[in-house]
Amino acid sequence: MARFEEIEIVRWEKGDTSRIRDEVVVESSLDLIVNNRNLVTLFCSPENQRALSVGYLRSEGLIEGMEVVSEVNYDPEEKLVEVKVVADGIDLETYFKKKRALTSSCGGAKSIIGKLRDLELEKTETGFFPETSQLIELMKEIQKRAKLFRRTGGSHTAALAGPEGIDYLAEDIGRHNAVDKVIGQSVMDNRDPEELILLTSGRLSLEMALKAIRSSISTVVSRSAPTTLAVRMGRTAGLAIVGFVRGGRLSVYSGEGRLEGLNRD
């Protein structure tokens, strides 16, 4: 399915009006069915749907890896992915209960973070500790490879990178979907998350921080800004959060110990 379509629009510029053809990003729906139960409907770009589905399950904490997944079937006509998970590999009832609790406004941010303390990343001296200069170059590379954004201006980009550079890259109309797509592909490839860092073009919200933590990714980097809840969660769980990676500079909000090249005097 096409990632963008040409449609006729009216453009006004400096007092002049014209009819032109413009490229608009395609938005599609995807039903994620897990063990014959409709888990969620995602609104997304119509590609990498299997990876999106697996990534969603991983970043929501529903699966640890492909060892509990027996099938991932995509039906492009019905716009759905059916995932089969072994009987003791997933607890849907607990998931729905947690989802309702976390989307409730009761208790505020302190209550939400308190409920999520069990997600603390394992403190380790292993894994990928990127250089600050490397983060600058990786973000430049992501921008170069964001073809859908350059054509339409309507997509977000996410990538997973290791010591040798970018290993996975995806674009989607939703920043969360783009992140789930790269996480999902890495899970399907059985990659070690400690050897990868997550980079994104979008805002780093609490939900984005949680996706990284649940996926055992220790560093999240963005061209954009983090939110206060994301920073608080990062400092609670040991997640490195780096924002505003642009123009030869960056800002470290948490986890500076996971970065090389910082002058800490």
Three-state SS for 254? strand
Q: Which of 47, 43, 63 is nearest to 55 (CA)?
A: 63
86: left (phi over 0), alpha (psi -120 to 50) or beta: beta
220: left (phi over 0), alpha (psi -120 to 50) or beta: beta
Q: Which two tokens stand for residue 234?
A: 């990062």
Three-state SS for 161? strand
CB environment 117-131: b (16+ within 10 A), e (fewer): eebebeeeeebbbbe
From 10, 18, 106, 249, the catalytic residue: 106
Active site residue 44: no
Query: Distance between CA atoms of 50 and 148, rounded to whole angstroms?
Result: 20
Find how far residue 166's CA is from the centre of its chain.
15
Residues designated as active site? 106
